[in-house]
Amino acid sequence: MTALEVRDLVKDYPIRSGLRRSTLRAVDHVSFTLTPGRTVALVGESGSGKSTVAKMIARLERPTGGEIVALKDDGTPVSDREYRDHVQMVFQDPFASLNPFHTIEHHLARPLRLHGRAKGAADTRRQVEQLLERVNLTPADTMAPRRPHELSGGQRQRVAIARALAPGAQVVVADEPVSMLDVSIRLGVLNLLARLQREDDLAVLYITHDLATARHFSDDILVMYRGHVVERGPSDDVILHPRHSYTKLLAAAAPNPDERGRSLAESPGAISQEDLTRTYDHYAGEWRPFGKAAPIAKALADPVGTHRG
């Protein structure tokens, strides 16, 4: 099984306005570890830096600083050549992540061949049908020749999940995989991800702005704000006992039918000035300056609870 370590990750973007040049720091010294069989949720509002982290893990963006290391069972790093065999990404938009001119079979056969997972046309077709069956797109022989426009949004996202598994990936980065889907089918896709994780012992990074799904489909949560991780810990601790004022604001923003009629005066207020420079680590039970929080791997020497799903 493959684990992934993110160490002091930094991403800067140059900004130019006329003759003036400056730098925007989108990700600021973020560290965490993805371990087999567990899901880490990266939570935050739009612009917090969570999708930038995902793109750097998928090697769609180059980090300004820090490092991302995939580790094999024996602790040796995965080579650059093998990296995409081990790490794959499921994108947010199922309508844009599939080529409308190619069949579903083509989308799954291509990674199988590129990564040396299939030999010959018959073996490729057999594995394509197996992948479709694993993501509940059946009958597989009738789904394979279809094109993306013939599928619903939920079905397209299932194809995207199957494509991520085709190279034999053990680390999956799911970047808001259900945010563009109808509410009625989101649960089915999340349950599918949870089942595949249990079956293949996957390490999953689940990126979302939805605290409810983050709690129920992850073991650990990292809350991001302005490029920093401001709170981290077991899912129940972060959601039920938030310590950082930004996490409290996120929780208060989520609609709660049990709190109808709550006045604005009862809101948790603004982010405190002190909280703009520190993170709360539930594993250590203490506040730490930004960039000093211990990676999750150290806190999971004695895992807390089991995976939800």
The crossing angle, in degrees rounded to 10, of helices 183-200 and 153-165 is 20
Q: Where exactly are the structural domains of the chain?
A: 3-274
User: What local confidence, expressed as pLDDT, does residue 31 receive?
Assistant: 96
Average model confidence (pLDDT) across the chain: 89
User: What local confidence, expressed as pLDDT, does residue 75 receive?
Assistant: 87
User: What local confidence, expressed as pLDDT, does residue 294 receive?
Assistant: 54
Place of tokens 């604005």: 264
Neighbours of 123 (CB within 10 A): 13
- Structure pTM? 0.89
157 token code pair: 């996202």
- The 10s digit of each residue's pLDDT in 87-119 is 999 999 888 999 999 999 999 999 999 999 999
User: What local confidence, expressed as pLDDT, does residue 298 receive?
Assistant: 46
SS percent in the chain: helix, strand, coil, step 5:
35, 25, 40
User: What local confidence, expressed as pLDDT, does residue 307 receive?
Assistant: 40
SS (H, E, C) 53-95: HHHHHCCCCCCCEEEEEEECCCCCECCCCCHHHHEEEECCCCC
User: What local confidence, expressed as pLDDT, does residue 261 receive?
Assistant: 56
Neighbours of 207 (CB within 10 A): 25
Low-confidence ranges of the chain (pLDDT < 50): 263-265, 296-309
- The 10s digit of each residue's pLDDT in 188-233 is 999 999 999 999 999 999 999 988 899 999 999 999 999 999 999 9
User: What local confidence, expressed as pLDDT, does residue 256 receive?
Assistant: 64
User: What local confidence, expressed as pLDDT, does residue 293 receive?
Assistant: 52
What percent of the chain is modeled with pLDDT above 90? 75
Which of 3.40.50.10420, 3.40.50.450, 3.40.50.300, 3.40.50.10860 would CATH assign to domain 3-274?
Answer: 3.40.50.300
